[in-house]
């Protein structure tokens, strides 16, 4: 069986990013957006898919999407997201309180 592509989407109606492997949902990242700041509140990987780095993938893709848009800062409410930023300091410029306005 070949490698299945990962698909990243932003389900704005549910306030969550989704990561799918083929047709299967593998990870979600919930958020709250107040128009200035996006609070990343919970990273969750479906238990059968844990241990494959999907939480890191979805967090990275969400942060990159927020950075590209350039109109919001990030508040890492979820412990996993906070740890991800600690491990990826190149993205710290998007953090709430770090951005020069």
* 52-101: pLDDT as tens digits: 999 999 999 999 999 999 999 999 999 999 999 999 999 999 998 764 44
Q: What is the CATH number of domain 6-94?
A: 3.40.630.30
User: What strand order describes the sheet that includes 37-45?
Assistant: 6-11, 16-21, 24-33, 37-45, 73-76
Region 27-39: mean pLDDT is: 98
State how far the Cα of 100 lies from the Cα of 89, in Å rounded to an integer. 16
Global confidence as pTM: 0.91
């Amino acid at each position: 069986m070949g490698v299945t592509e990962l698909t990243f989407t932003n389900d704005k109606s549910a306030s969550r990013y989704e990561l799918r492997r083929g047709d299967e949902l593998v990870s979600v990242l919930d958020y709250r957006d107040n128009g200035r700041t996006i609070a990343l509140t919970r990273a969750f990987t479906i238990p059968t898919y844990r241990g494959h780095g999907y939480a890191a993938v979805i967090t990275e893709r969400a942060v990159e999407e927020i950075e590209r848009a350039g109109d919001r800062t990030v508040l890492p409410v979820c412990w996993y997201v906070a740890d991800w930023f600690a491990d990826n300091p190149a993205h710290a410029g998007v953090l709430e309180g770090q951005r020069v306005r």
